[in-house]
């Protein structure tokens, strides 16, 4: 496989992922961003932990969709993320979710 073929494959996979995101975003209530992933979910709980002295976040998601081009199945019933980095949680409102439609 040439570099051009690989680039074309990745571009098509990213476009397909974006289309899937556009189709499913309406059924979720929260957007969660971590240093490694982007999630959509219907319930989220963030806890700050510090058992070893260093603080980290334990993020629990329910009914989640994972933005990951290489995952064969992006829907997950429960997800738990542990991270030392920032976590951003935003609640979606119906009026905020206005995505462009294809012509």
pLDDT at 10 (0 to 100): 87
pTM of the complete model:
0.79
- The CA distance from 63 to 76, in Å, is 6
Are the C-beta atoms of 32 and 89 separated by less than 8 Å? yes
Q: Which residues contact 34 (CB under 8 A, 6 or more apart)?
A: 59, 81, 83, 85, 86, 87, 88
Tens-place pLDDT, residues 14-58: 999 999 999 999 999 999 999 999 999 999 999 999 887 889 999
Residue keyed to tokens 């982007």: 38
User: Across residues 55-69, what is the average pLDDT?
Assistant: 95
pLDDT surpasses 80 at 84: yes
Rounded CA-CA distance 86/84 in Å is: 7
């Amino acid at each position: 496989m040439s570099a051009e073929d690989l680039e074309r494959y990745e571009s098509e996979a990213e476009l397909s992922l974006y289309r899937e995101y556009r189709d499913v975003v309406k059924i979720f209530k929260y957007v969660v961003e971590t240093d490694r992933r982007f999630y959509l979910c219907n319930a989220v709980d963030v806890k700050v932990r510090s058992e070893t002295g260093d603080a980290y976040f334990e993020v629990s998601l329910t009914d989640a969709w994972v933005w990951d081009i290489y995952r064969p199945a992006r829907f997950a019933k429960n997800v738990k993320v542990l991270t030392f980095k920032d976590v951003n949680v935003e609640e979606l409102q119906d009026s905020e979710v206005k995505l462009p439609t294809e012509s």
